[in-house]
Amino acid sequence: MKNKIFKTKNLPFIELRYIPKITSCDKKHQHTELTLTAIKTGNINIIFDDKNDSLKPNEISIVNPNEVHCATLSKIKSLGCYVLYLEKNWCEKIQQALFNHKLNFLNINKSLIQDKIIFDYFIKMCNELFIDSITLLEKEEKLIDFVSSLFLKFCNREEVTDNDTKNSKLALKIKNYLKENIENDILLEDISLYMNLSIVHILRIFKKEFGLPIHSYLLNKKVHLAKDLLAKNIAISEVAQMSGFFDQSHLNKSFKRVFQLTPKEYQKMLISYKT
C-alpha cells in the first residue's frame, strides 16, 4: 500500500494516515487529538517524559491528547505504520454516552496495548476506512464500535475536574495569548509585558501546565494550524505565512519533523476530502 490519508469533511473528527516506510520523529511534540499508532514490522521507540515504550507488531501505541512525546527507530527496519487521530471533543461525547455522566476527557490508562485481538480489530478497521466502496455511515459505525470498546476496557473512569489554581489560570491566559498572536514573531518580553509577570515565572508555570517549553508549544501549534490549512488546498507558500513560519522552507522542515512527510506530500496524499 502507498502513502495514504483518509480525511473527509463529513467525518471531521478523524484523520487516518498510512505510512509504508517509517521515519524517526525525534522532536518532542504533542497533538490535541487522541493518537493511536500500529506497525506491521519493526520496532518504534515512543518516548514520553517519564518512560519509553517499544512499539512492535500486534501492539497499539496510545498517546493521550496534549501528551508530550517523540519517536525514534530501532536498528530493525520498520514498515507499515497506521496513525489514527481522533478529536478530543468527539471522544468526550463517546465517553459521556458510555459512562452516563458529564465529564471531561478521560485518558486511556495504558500507553501500550499488547493485545493481538484488539490489534487485528484496529488494522481491519483502518483498512476499511481506505475503501471507497464502503459508505461513510458504515465507516463511522465501525469506528465508534472500536473506540467504544477501547474506552470501556482502558479508560480511567475517575472524573476529571478543572484545575482552578492561580498558576493554571495564568498558564491558560498565556496559551490564549500565543493562539491570538500565532502569526507574529513573539518574544518572551512581549508575553511578560502582557501578563505583568517575570519571564522566569512565565516559563516555569507554562512548562508545568502544558509539558512543553513555550517555543516548542508554539511551533507545535503552528505545525497543526498549517496541517488544517493544507487540507483546504491552500498554496503552501500562503500556508507558511498564515501559520506564522518565516518562509516555506521553515514550514517544510518543521512539518516533516512532526508528521514525517512534507506539506506537499501531505496535500498530495489527502483522499476522500469532499465538500
CATH code for the part of the protein at 166-271: 1.10.10.60
Alpha carbon distance 257, 56 (integer Å): 22
Q: In sequence order, what are the residues at sequence separation of 6 or more whose Cβ sits closer than 8 angstroms to the Cβ of residue 92?
A: 103, 104, 105
Portion of the chain with pLDDT greater than 90, in percent: 47
Residue 163 pLDDT: 43
Question: 4-154 has which fold?
Answer: Jelly Rolls (2.60.120)
CB atoms within 10 A of CB 169: 14
* pLDDT (tens digit per residue) in 76-135: 787 899 999 999 999 998 898 888 766 788 899 999 999 999 999 999 999 999 998 888
Topology alike, domains 4-154 and 166-271:
no
Q: What residue spans define the domains of the chain?
A: 4-154, 166-271
Q: Which of 9, 7, 8, 63 is nearest to 32 (CA)?
A: 63
Average pLDDT over residues 249-273: 83
* pLDDT (tens digit per residue) in 173-205: 999 999 898 888 788 889 999 999 888 888 888
Query: What is the pTM for the complete model shown?
Result: 0.71
Residue 275 pLDDT: 40
Confidence of residue 46 (pLDDT cuts 50, 70, 90): very high
DSSP designation for 50:
S
